[in-house]
Structure 1
């Protein structure tokens, strides 16, 4: 049961990170032109990796 809750919460967090990344895209483009990098891709990669590792083994 806890595994299902953990898996569902990771999925929700992953989807939230994707939504935040999409919303922050104009800010990231403006920041890139100013020479600043916003590491949203690192956050998304970390959460995505955790989600994939939580998948049950067949």
Structure 2
């Protein structure tokens, strides 16, 4: 039971991170013009890796 809750939570977190990344895209594009990049790709990759690792347990 714990693993199902863990998987569901990681999946929801992954989907939320993707949604935040899509919403923040215009902000990220504007900040990039000034030489600053938002590290959203690292957040999505880390959560995605955790979700995939939990699937293989």
- 1:8-58 alpha-carbon deviations (Å, 9 max, x no partner): 00000000000000000000000000100100000000000000000045x
TM-score using structure 1 length: 0.95
Match of 1:14 in 2: 14
Backbone CA RMSD of aligned residues: 0.9
Q: List alignment gaps of at least 5 residues for structure 2.
A: none
Q: Whose helix proportion is higher, 1 or 2?
A: 2
Aligned length: 57
TM-score using structure 2 length: 0.96
Stretches of 4+ moved more than 4 A in 1?
A: none
